[in-house]
Amino acid sequence: MTYHDKVLKVFGANRREVLVSVGAGGLTLGFSLAGKAQAQDDAVKPLNAYVSVAPNGTVTITAKNPEVGQGVKTMLPMLIAEELDVAWENVRIEQADNDPKAFGRQFAGGSMATPLHWDELRRVGAVARAMLIQAAATAWNCGPGDCTTDTGAVIHKASGKKRTYGSLALACANITPPDPKSLTLKDPKAYRILGKFTPQYDVAKIVNGEPLFGIDVRRPGMLYASIVKAPVFGAKVASADLDAARSVKGVKKAFVIEGDPNGLFPQGMTGQGLLPAVVVVADSWWAARKGRDRLNVKWADHPTAKLSTRGFDEQAAAFNAGTPQRNARNDGDVAAALKASARTVEAAYSYPFISHANLEPQNCTAEFRDGKLEIWAPTQNPEPGRQLTAKTLGLKPEDITIHMIRGGGGFGRRLANDYMVEAAWVAREVGAPVKLLWTREDDMAHDHYRPGGYHFFKGGVDADGALIALQDHFVSFTNNTEGQPSPSAGMAASEFPARFVPNVKYDVSMIPAQIPTGPLRAPGSNALSFVFQSFIDEMAHAASADPLAFQIRLLGTQDTVGEAPARYGAARMRGVLKAVGEMSGWASRGKLPKGEGMGVACYYSHQGYFAEVAHVAVDKDGAVKVRKVWVAADVGSQIINPAGALNQVQGSVLDGVSGALHQAITFENGATVQSNFTDYPLMRIAESFPVEVKFLKTDFPPTGLGEPALPPALPALTNAIFAATGKRIRSLPVTPDMLKA
């Protein structure tokens, strides 16, 4: 039964719509609750979620958002189940398809699932519970106030009479749902599901190797495709030996996609068009790959074939020597303040492009039949993919169905949908279901990279050790004709410590480079944290101050600074800094042996306040061993699922350190140099370390954890390296050469 079978629509009070459908499986309640953000704008799609209760008491909850390892398929249904008051063991979770009419925006990004759904989805559960209570009250001829619930049953308080939800479900069809806003939600002290360590719903499938991921999708009669694109982004196909590919056993088709050489750089981040490519389709992926290896593709000349990382470095240095293109912020008088400073520091920082490197390479399965397209996609962002596919193939969006399949890692890469457009195009061309799978090398050569950047700092502290002047010339990248920063290559004018330092100047210049970029876990923040928090640490040392005390002092005495959306919770950040100092034994770091040190850093992103201390040891060959990282976090009043929350924080910290110690994407002759995990290493288990995490509970609404633990990990690491060695890391990745005794 689909959600729309036999749906009876009941329109309730303003902006509230409840769908009630009675089918063979029992009752299905569909709630459509207008959230705060939608209150002013009825045109915005409402948020939806669905609950169904079967006669045997099994509750099925639909998970609306794509799952890429952030745990949302488990966490969002927990919100509903808690207020519905059911036993978690009796909950079944179904993954929704892409269906914006029913579910509103469905995406995995920005650590937004918690803040967007915390209130609404609990109310979905509460509405269902209220209806079940009403159904029982009607049957018992009493008022709803005479009843309560206890894990899957309505109880008559006075008599102790009991009716299971399963037995009441059908009767709910006649009940008008209450206004969700009128319901009182549970006191957190009464929570039975929220706050409990809850393993991911799909955990058994994962450990048994059951089909689960995009790459595992199989359709009857399915063929397999391999796609070759130019190493130089957007170069056209000059020639390809299609017949050689076709001569490989199992190969069914080989063809050129003309594509759009400029389709790579549209505005926004809604995905990418189809690039010029050659495709080989076969009855197995290995045969397709073998065919591909015989193509001997020649690529046409392309204007970007001269781009190189060395060239970027030279351009950045030239910008530093000249006048910045643009001023983004100018508070006070930086030049005068620098002159008046007791100590000044000048430092040039840089960080490289890096790749998402999801362990599951990009892939997608598509089937084109009777003018309609069905897609199985491990995407973080299905609806923009549908729109882009429709546009590229000349179809109507409503003729495209997208099933959201678990992705083997997201990290922002799957917010783009280039693989989806390719699979759709190939499936139409071939007239059979096709699974298109990139090689690891394709994946690394055709990422939407985290952009690199350069920062040229000057800073000054006064005689009292206060930071009074900060100047940054940020040299970033632009890949569009408008001269706007490439996606995720910008910086807000409010970037910390602006507003906490009286004299601040932020200048920006931009290197033109047609390289695709995009959001990678904590976009912007994942690099800005390194440069700003390292430079603040430099200023602390210039002031001969304890770096942790210097950070707390810098944050001032106000609770908050600035207005939303750029409001900064200074008190919350001071709170996590103090906590991490206590957890880590910061005060006794002087007792560490020679060659070891501790570094501290903090960063606010995705509505979360994080402070971290790293303890490292550096040997005489310059090898860095991280002994431990402590994390103090303030993400509000409630950790919804400690199992997922802790995993995200620990993973984010290790991920950040992995990048800082190992990763760089470089370019030569317009193409990516790195090709696989051999030259783009990820952290391995022997290098991993314990991460101790403390969540401070505050009165703020809960916020997300997919990203904000990552940014401070990098500068905590590099500040610790300074404490251990006296060597300041100003460019990433950290190499032993930088640290040799």
Q: Which residues bind another protein (CB under 8 A)?
A: 68-71, 197-200, 202-204, 206-213, 215-216, 218, 224, 249-250, 284-287, 290, 357-361, 406-411, 437, 439-440, 643-644, 647-648, 650-651, 654-655, 658, 676-678, 682-686, 688, 690-691
Tell me whether residue 404 or residue 501 sits nearer to another protein (CB atom): 404
Question: Residue with CB nearest ligand FES?
Answer: 359
Q: CB of 439: closest distance to ligand FES in angstroms?
A: 10
Q: CB of 206: closest distance to ligand FES in angstroms?
A: 8
Residue 134 contact among ligand FES, another protein, none, beta carbon within 5 to 8 Å by kind: none
Q: CB of 677: closest distance to another protein in angstroms?
A: 4
Tell me: does residue 409 bind ligand FES (CB under 6 A): yes
Tell me whether residue 68 or residue 554 sits nearer to ligand FES (CB atom): 68
Amino acid letter, residue 87 = A
Q: CB of 218: closest distance to another protein in angstroms?
A: 7
Tell me whether residue 67 or residue 472 sits nearer to ligand FES (CB atom): 67
For the chain, the residue count is 741
Contact 122, 79 (CB under 8 A): yes
Q: CB of 36: closest distance to ligand FES in angstroms?
A: 33
Q: CB of 416: closest distance to ligand FES in angstroms?
A: 19
Tell me: does residue 359 bind ligand FES (CB under 6 A): yes
- Displacement of CA 140 from its chain's centroid (Å): 49
* DSSP class per residue in 138-199: HHHTS-GGGEEEETTEEEETTT--EEEHHHHTGGGGGSPPPPGGGSPPPPGGG-SSTTS---
x/- string (CB under 6 A) for ligand FES, residues 224-263?
----------------------------------------
* Torsional sign, CA 83, 87, 89, 93: negative
Residue 213 contact among another protein, ligand FES, none, beta carbon within 5 to 8 Å by kind: another protein
Tell me whether residue 134 or residue 663 sits nearer to another protein (CB atom): 663
- φ/ψ of 731, rounded to 5, equals -145, 150
Residue 204 contact among another protein, ligand FES, none, beta carbon within 5 to 8 Å by kind: another protein
User: Cis link prior to 736 (omega < 30° from 0)?
Assistant: no
Tell me whether residue 298 or residue 684 sits nearer to ligand FES (CB atom): 684
Tell me: does residue 203 bind ligand FES (CB under 6 A): no
For the stretch 398-416, what's the b/e string if a residue is b when 16 or more beta carbons lie within 10 angstroms of its beta carbon?
A: eebebbbbbbbbbbbbbbb
Alpha carbons 80 and 646: distance in angstroms, whole number: 21
Q: CB of 69: closest distance to ligand FES in angstroms?
A: 5
Residue 719 contact among another protein, ligand FES, none, beta carbon within 5 to 8 Å by kind: none
User: Cis link prior to 711 (omega < 30° from 0)?
Assistant: no
Q: CB of 29: closest distance to another protein in angstroms?
A: 29
Q: In the 8-state DSSP scheme, what is residue 733?
A: S
Residue 431 contact among ligand FES, another protein, none, beta carbon within 5 to 8 Å by kind: none
Q: CB of 652: closest distance to another protein in angstroms?
A: 8
Alpha carbons 295 and 287: distance in angstroms, whole number: 13
What residues from 627 to 656 belong to the interface with ligand FES (CB under 6 A)? Answer: none
- Displacement of CA 639 from its chain's centroid (Å): 18
Give the side-chain half-sphere CA count within 13 A for 260.
Answer: 14
Residue 407 contact among another protein, ligand FES, none, beta carbon within 5 to 8 Å by kind: another protein
List CB contacts of 157: < 8 A, sequence separation 6 or more.
146, 147, 148
Q: Is 116 left (phi over 0), alpha (psi -120 to 50) or beta?
A: alpha
Tell me whether residue 58 or residue 641 sits nearer to another protein (CB atom): 641
x/- string (CB under 6 A) for ligand FES, residues 54-83?
---------------x--------------
List CB contacts of 297: < 8 A, sequence separation 6 or more.
228, 230, 237, 239, 240, 278
Alpha carbons 666 and 551: distance in angstroms, whole number: 34
Alpha carbons 46 and 44: distance in angstroms, whole number: 6
Tell me whether residue 440 or residue 627 sits nearer to another protein (CB atom): 440
Q: CB of 675: closest distance to another protein in angstroms?
A: 9
Tell me whether residue 361 or residue 382 sits nearer to ligand FES (CB atom): 361
Residue 360 contact among ligand FES, another protein, none, beta carbon within 5 to 8 Å by kind: another protein
Residue 103 contact among ligand FES, another protein, none, beta carbon within 5 to 8 Å by kind: none
Q: CB of 735: closest distance to ligand FES in angstroms?
A: 25
Smallest CA-to-CA distance from 648 within 739, 698, 710 is with 710
363's tokens? 């892939």
Q: If you count DSSP H runs as helices and E runs as strands, how many of each does the chain have, helices first?
A: 18, 29
Tell me whether residue 407 or residue 702 sits nearer to ligand FES (CB atom): 407
Amino acid letter, residue 539 = M
Tell me whether residue 62 or residue 200 sits nearer to another protein (CB atom): 200
Tell me: does residue 681 bind ligand FES (CB under 6 A): no
Tell me whether residue 213 or residue 425 sits nearer to ligand FES (CB atom): 213
Alpha carbons 534 and 557: distance in angstroms, whole number: 23
Residue 284 contact among another protein, ligand FES, none, beta carbon within 5 to 8 Å by kind: another protein
Tell me whether residue 409 or residue 642 sits nearer to ligand FES (CB atom): 409
Smallest CA-to-CA distance from 478 within 451, 454, 455 is with 451
Residue 200 contact among ligand FES, another protein, none, beta carbon within 5 to 8 Å by kind: another protein
Alpha carbons 519 and 659: distance in angstroms, whole number: 15
Residue 98 contact among another protein, ligand FES, none, beta carbon within 5 to 8 Å by kind: none
Alpha carbons 637 and 22: distance in angstroms, whole number: 37
Tell me whether residue 7 or residue 682 sits nearer to another protein (CB atom): 682
Residue 224 contact among ligand FES, another protein, none, beta carbon within 5 to 8 Å by kind: another protein
* DSSP class per residue in 688-728: ---EEEEEPP-SSPP---SSTTSTTHHHHHHHHHHHHHS--
Contact 728, 538 (CB under 8 A): yes
Q: CB of 424: closest distance to ligand FES in angstroms?
A: 26
Pairing of strands 91-95, 59-63: parallel
Q: CB of 714: closest distance to another protein in angstroms?
A: 14
Q: CB of 284: closest distance to another protein in angstroms?
A: 4
Binding site for ligand FES (CB under 6 A): 69, 359, 409
